[in-house]
Structure 1
Amino acid sequence: MSTSFLPGGFRFVPGMFQYSGGAAAEPGFAIERVRFHRPVPLDEGFKRIEAYITAAGRPMTAFCACELRSPAPFTDQGFIDFNRQYVGTLERWGLFKDEVNPVARSNVCPEIDPPAGPSFHAFSFTRPADNAPPTFVIAGSGEAQEGGASYKERIVRYGETSPDAMAAKARHVHVEMERRMNVLGVSWPDCTATQIYTVHDIHPFLGEDIVRRGAARAGVTWHLCRPPVIGLEYEMDCRGVRAEHVID
């Protein structure tokens, strides 16, 4: 079941403290995505996002999703420490409260030419829009069961990167994408973009496990990136939006 976040004009899939499983615009609103031409360091990115959303006449509670780039995968504890720093600004913006975070997020690590520190790649926010089609952003997910034990204990086929293992990891992620979309009342045909993050070959399962299930109706964008935690090998996110902008 999704949860409404009325101050932002969207509903979300409840998740962990660092991010929600996805966000979808409520009736009367639409989600827009804004991508930086080059990654912007975290602190500067928060300032530029605040300026952009404010200039658009929207409250900061309209911030509903973001995409991050980090230098290298974190340890479990390192990821927790980073996330605590990250949610501090969301708390100031009126988004994060009592360990509940409505903002969807992806955070991945470029294999080539990574940023010097955690940086913003893109963000999304809501605007008023009459009679708009469904718009949504599904948060990135890697091949690990949610909650509980360490990542090592939860990762599907931990330590394996054979074609068969990668296909199993991908299937787990694809099912999770579908679960999150189902909670928000959308599905693959509603997507306008699908993004995959891995340094391993996706071609052995691209046809059967991605295209045939409908996940590539708008094509697939493959980023040569690693997921954000050591041991994860495959991540995906997707979205359905009608307005996207690129800014310097």
Structure 2
Amino acid sequence: MIETVEAPNGGYRFMPGVSQYSAGVAALQGFTLERVRFTKPVPIKAGFERIAQVLKDAGRPLTAFAACELRSPAPFTEEGFVKFNEVYTGTLKSWGVAFPNGLNPVARSNVCPKIDPPAEPGFHAFTYTVPAANAPASFVIAGSGEAPEGKGNYRDHAVRLGDTSPAAMLEKAKWVLGEMERRMSAFGGDWSQVTATQLYTVHDIYPFIESELGKRGIFRQGLTWYFNRPPVKDLEYEMDCRRVYVERVIEG
């Protein structure tokens, strides 16, 4: 089983990922994860302020912040993505969110709507821990595009770079689905436990929607397809998934 690390004072454990985010989180025993979605993206600075207030109102410390979903205007260059992440992780550190052994505990997805994109990067949703005796297991798996992380860049390692043919999209989808399964396995999870699956691409998924997504049982809980691109140029397909039982929506 893949090793996970407990986030200090967070009420969750995480699967190590890269400096900007973890590969996924799961609530510790005695806690559960709750998700809050904004009606529209809230710019990063204001979003952090809104999240801090929600945590305060819930009687939770800032370190209970476990995962988030971002929306950006357009895919970043590799260099632009690094600069954005420096600002984002800097705020987490100022919150006292510890980075055990330099590892970021907070899971994340960050995608770019093709239609009606935000003017600047912002929060679409976030997830945090709350005390809950005897709660069922809950987890959030971070978004992944069709390239392994931690390799220095995405472009040199992407599956079928620059190819969006049906055969290439199938290969990209298989790789990402496998990565979702690998990450879930760190928490003893699988598709049968998932309460929501989100897919992000502007390309046709119909040729493999039954053969690859359907056969895994994803449609038991439904699939949310966002007409969005992954956050880095030249990536074309991304997914994330979660097992979260309490979700609500607040004004953006």
Q: Aligned letter for 1:176?
A: E
Partners of 1:179 and 1:216 lie apart in 2 by 19
Q: What TM-score does the superposition give when structure 1 sets the normalisation length?
A: 0.98
Q: Aligned letter for 1:243?
A: V
- Contact 1:3–1:13 (8 Å) recurs in 2: yes
- Aligned pair 1:47/2:41, yes or no? no
2:143 to 126, 140, 162: 140
- Contact 1:87–1:96 (8 Å) recurs in 2: no
Given the superposition, is the C-alpha separation of residues 15 and 216 from structure 1 closer, same or farther in structure 2, using an over 3 Å criterion? same
Structure 1 position 6, deviation (Å): 3.9
**RMSD of aligned residue pairs (Cα, Å):** 0.9
**Alignment identity in percent?**
58
Q: How does 1:56-135 map to 2 (within 5 A)?
A: 56-97=58-99, 99-135=102-138
What does residue 158 of structure 1 align with? Answer: 161
Q: Aligned letter for 2:26?
A: A
Partners of 2:104 and 2:151 lie apart in 1 by 18
SS at match of 1:27: coil
Structure 1 position 244, deviation (Å): 0.2
- Aligned pair 1:30/2:28, yes or no? no
Segments of structure 2 that go 5 or more residues without pairing to the other structure are none
Q: What TM-score does the superposition give when structure 2 sets the normalisation length?
A: 0.97
Partners of 2:83 and 2:207 lie apart in 1 by 36
SS at match of 1:132: coil
- Aligned pair 1:212/2:240, yes or no? no
- Aligned pair 1:189/2:195, yes or no? no
Partners of 1:27 and 1:181 lie apart in 2 by 17
1:19 to 18, 21, 24: 21
Which stretch has the larger CA shift, 140-149 or 66-75?
140-149
Q: What whole-Å deviation, never above 9, does each CA across 1:65-91 have from its counterpart, x for those lacking one?
A: 000000000000100000000001110
Structure 1 position 150, deviation (Å): 2.5
What does residue 173 of structure 1 align with? Answer: 176
What does residue 8 of structure 1 align with? Answer: 10
Corresponding pairs, count? 248
4+ aligned runs moved over 3 Å, structure 1: none
Q: What whole-Å deviation, never above 9, does each CA across 1:32-60 have from its counterpart, x for those lacking one?
A: 00000111011000000000101100001
Q: Aligned letter for 1:178?
A: E
- Contact 2:8–2:98 (8 Å) recurs in 1: no
